[in-house]
């Protein structure tokens, strides 16, 4: 069994103590809550109304099958944006100070085909702790064997082409999530090197019950209401998920698998020679940080540095926090990685895929 990882560089702990103190002072002096404000609530209402509208237009709108297909693709993008903006904050406990409100919004994850309990284990606990560490961070296992996302993985002959086929694979991410991944992760004995405790009995009901509800809403209801042929239903379902998966895949990859980010290797005792917060700075990058459109659509995940350091703060506050984090990082001589635009981050990711596809 691999040793438990530890972040051992206590000499670096002053950075996080300082930046946390400054962030606390910001909220106190500005008399602000760390949670959702009016702008966040307006965005939440807009996204949920968009979801309901698109779903109903697909089912009962007076459109041709081709237009319905386009609407299904828009619905897939909307599902991804709901995941980023609402569910992600809620599962982190960042949307509201009220746990019941967070729980209620986390249930929306089921409506986009994912399980919030499994996500809290794989993302909140594992990815946020062991970011970019091979064998621990399962976000690096996008398509095990098919994609090589760090130098610690063996090179296979087909990896030399991964900078071409990676992007279609990202499109399959949400389809795998809906049909396979949640089940596999739920019944795995370990997630990375983390062994979760016994799952509460209600989570078994939630897993199978909400999955059945999702299949009912997105497969059975369209089939019955629209009188579709089976292959037409499959095409629409695939189109929705290809768009959703591509949006999800790109946003998460552009935050951690770009030039400049580190992929630390623990020593034989499981020690990582950095403090946890410094590890987050070295393994995470922002993209398009000054784009209001990117911030609105991605739920602040274009500012992943701030999210990884302060996951329990609503993303609506990240622009203000970014100034504090960047200044403090520079004072301590630490990296603060950014790609100025989405296109720049995409090109950086492409180049890194090309690099990882070849032996060092």
Give the pLDDT score at 119.
94
Alpha carbon separation from 233 to 115, 142, 218, 221, 230 (Å, rounded): 23, 26, 9, 10, 5
3-class secondary-structure state, position 338:
strand
Instruction: Please check whether residue 198 is in contact with residue 128, taking contact to mean a CB–CB distance below 8 angstroms.
Output: no
Distance CA 301, CA 308 (A): 10
Tell me the C-alpha distance between 252 and 84, whole Å. Answer: 10
Other Cβ atoms closer than 10 A to 264: 19
> How many CB atoms within 10 Å of residue 251?
24
The residues, ordered by sequence, that sit 6+ positions from 133 with a Cβ below 8 Å of its Cβ are 5, 263, 264, 265, 266, 272
**Calpha distance 66→20 (Å, rounded):** 51
Are 272 and 303 in contact by the 8 Å Cβ rule? The answer is no
Q: CA 348 to CA 350: how far, in whole Å? A: 5
The pLDDT score that the predictor gives to residue 44 is 98
- Give the model's pLDDT for residue 319: 96
E strand map for the chain: 6-7, 271-272, 285-287, 337-339
Closest to 112 measured CA to CA, from 70, 82, 85: 82
- How far are the Cα atoms of 60, 93, 166, 236 from residue 246, in angstroms, in the given order? 27, 26, 10, 16
Comparing C-alpha atoms, which of 222, 237, 111, 127 is closest to residue 175?
A: 237
The DSSP output letter for 337 is E
Instruction: Tally the residues of the chain.
Output: 360
CA–centroid distance for 154 within its chain = 25
d(CA 357, CA 164): 11
Domain limits, the chain: 6-356
3-state class (DSSP) for residue 188: coil
Nearest to 113 by CA among 46, 207, 232: 207
Strands (DSSP E) contained in 216-325 are 271-272, 285-287
pLDDT in tens, the chain (360 residues): 566 788 887 778 899 999 999 999 999 999 999 999 999 999 999 999 999 999 999 999 889 999 999 999 999 999 999 999 999 999 999 999 999 999 999 999 999 999 999 999 999 988 998 999 888 887 777 777 899 988 888 899 999 999 999 999 999 989 999 999 999 999 998 887 788 889 999 999 999 999 999 999 999 999 999 988 999 999 999 999 999 999 999 999 999 999 999 998 888 887 888 899 999 999 999 999 999 999 999 999 999 999 999 999 999 999 999 999 999 999 999 999 999 999 999 999 999 999 999 887
């Amino acid at each position: 069994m691999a040793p438990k990882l530890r972040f051992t560089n206590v000499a670096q702990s002053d950075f996080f103590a300082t930046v946390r103190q400054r962030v606390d002072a910001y909220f106190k002096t500005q008399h602000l809550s760390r949670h959702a404000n009016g702008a966040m609530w307006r965005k939440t209402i807009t996204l949920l109304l968009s979801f309901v509208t698109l779903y109903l237009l697909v089912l009962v709108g007076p459109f041709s099958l081709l237009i319905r297909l386009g609407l299904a693709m828009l619905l897939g993008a909307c599902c991804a944006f709901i995941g980023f903006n609402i569910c992600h904050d809620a599962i982190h406990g960042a949307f509201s100070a009220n746990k019941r409100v967070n729980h209620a919004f986390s249930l929306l994850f089921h409506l986009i085909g994912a399980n919030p309990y499994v996500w809290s284990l794989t993302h909140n606990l594992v990815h946020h702790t062991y970011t970019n560490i091979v064998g621990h961070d399962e976000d690096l296992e996008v398509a095990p064997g098919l994609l090589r996302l760090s130098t610690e993985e063996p090179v296979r002959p087909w990896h030399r082409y991964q900078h071409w086929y990676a992007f279609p694979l990202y499109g399959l991410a949400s389809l795998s999530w809906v049909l396979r991944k949640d089940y596999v992760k739920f019944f795995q004995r370990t997630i990375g090197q983390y062994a979760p405790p016994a799952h509460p009995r209600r989570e078994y009901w939630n897993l199978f019950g909400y999955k059945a509800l999702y299949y009912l809403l997105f497969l059975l209801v369209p089939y019955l209401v629209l009188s579709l042929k089976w292959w037409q239903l499959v095409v629409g379902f695939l189109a929705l998920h290809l768009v959703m998966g591509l949006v999800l895949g790109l946003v998460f990859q552009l935050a951690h698998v770009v030039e400049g980010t580190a992929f630390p290797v623990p020593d034989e005792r499981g020690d990582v020679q950095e403090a946890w917060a410094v590890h987050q700075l070295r393994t995470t990058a922002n993209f398009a940080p000054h784009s209001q459109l990117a911030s609105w659509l991605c739920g602040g995940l274009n500012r992943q540095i701030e999210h990884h350091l302060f996951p329990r703060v609503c993303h609506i506050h990240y622009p203000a926090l970014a100034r504090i984090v960047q200044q403090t990082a520079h004072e301590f001589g630490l990296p603060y990685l950014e790609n100025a635009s989405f296109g720049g981050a995409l090109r950086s990711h492409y180049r890194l895929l090309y690099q990882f596809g070849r032996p060092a």
